[in-house]
Amino acid sequence: MTLNFVRIAYAYDRTRYHPPEVSGKIATAIVAPVEEAFREPAFLELGVGTGRVGVPIVARGYRFVGVDVNPSMLEVMRYKIAGVGRKVKLLEADARSLPFERGSFHAVIGVHFWHLVEDWQRALLEAFRVLVPGGFLFEGWDTTTAASEDWRIQEKWREILNELGFQLERGRHQRRLAEVRQAMERIGLEPEEITVAEWVEDRSPRQSLEILGERLYSFTQKVPEDVFHASLERLWEWARDAYPDLDQSYPIRWSFVMRRTRLPE
């Protein structure tokens, strides 16, 4: 585990958080239907990361297992649950080949997950395999409008990349969500989608630029290193002219959307 990976994990945890009241609403939306259907339920989260969804569930005392391929992310979560993680296991594991017996969990959770897995069909089948009959699959994601200054900065970066000869791919997350939904509907499942919480985040242009610079968004990962640094330099130059004060915050209106699917009993 390198210091750079640990630094990125902490940066991810610092910038990709939910406000406490939002975290509570997300946890309730997950645990309430499961607790109603099963006694002493066990939860599994795929791509658990630093625990922004898992920690509130852990804090309520449920049995919880989190898997991730990134050990640095798991290390950050271990630190966050120290003292309250008696019923928790965190494992470095691939969601496409889960180290659990069939029917081990009452709920499987995947938040901002499917677009990170190339062979997502295998991961979906594995999620179904480890669920008990009547178990729940929860998918979740943050969404916002294209009207924020944060989006404006990202779009300017995309334009700069185009000028440098690199075509940025965006929208993979939403396309993958649609593919997963279609796959479930083809086998007779009925996913239900609800908006669980809404909130406003204040973010400055400097913070937006720094988040891009940390490569915390999945769409930044395939940009070659030399192109990435050249594009960021030009983006900073543009931002200094576009914004009188890089530390003046602006609002971003977020929603957390959850899709719940229950297996036949």
Top pLDDT among 260 and 84 is at: 260
Report if residue 25 sits inside a domain. Answer: yes
Which tokens in the block code for residue 12? 């991810």
217 has pLDDT over 70:
yes
208 has pLDDT over 50:
yes
132 has pLDDT over 70:
yes
244 has pLDDT over 70:
yes
Question: pTM for the full model?
Answer: 0.92
Report if residue 84 sits inside a domain. Answer: yes
**259 - beta bridge partners?**
139, 193
Cα–Cα dist 175/191, whole Å? 16
Report if residue 219 sits inside a domain. Answer: no
7 has pLDDT over 80:
no
- What domain range includes position 58? 3-145+171-201+252-262
136 C-beta neighbours (distance < 10 Å), count: 22
Q: How confident is the model at residue 16 (pLDDT cuts 50, 70, 90)?
A: low
Q: How confident is the model at residue 1 (pLDDT cuts 50, 70, 90)?
A: very low
pLDDT given for residue 3 in this prediction:
41
Q: How confident is the model at residue 14 (pLDDT cuts 50, 70, 90)?
A: low
Q: How many independent structural domains does the chain possess?
A: 1
Report if residue 242 sits inside a domain. Answer: no
pLDDT given for residue 79 in this prediction:
87
Average pLDDT over residues 58-69: 95
Report if residue 88 sits inside a domain. Answer: yes
Report if residue 235 sits inside a domain. Answer: no
15 has pLDDT over 70:
no
pLDDT given for residue 140 in this prediction:
96
83 has pLDDT over 80:
no
Which of 32-36, 47-51, 168-172: highest mean pLDDT?
32-36
Average pLDDT, the chain: 92
Average pLDDT over residues 115-144: 96
Radius of gyration of the chain (CA): 19
Report if residue 94 sits inside a domain. Answer: yes
Report if residue 122 sits inside a domain. Answer: yes
Helix, strand, coil percent values for the chain (each to nearest 5): 45, 25, 30
CATH label of the domain that carries residue 119 = 3.40.50.150
Q: Is 80 left (phi over 0), alpha (psi -120 to 50) or beta?
A: alpha
66 C-beta neighbours (distance < 10 Å), count: 29
Closest C-alpha to 214, from 7, 2, 1, 17: 7
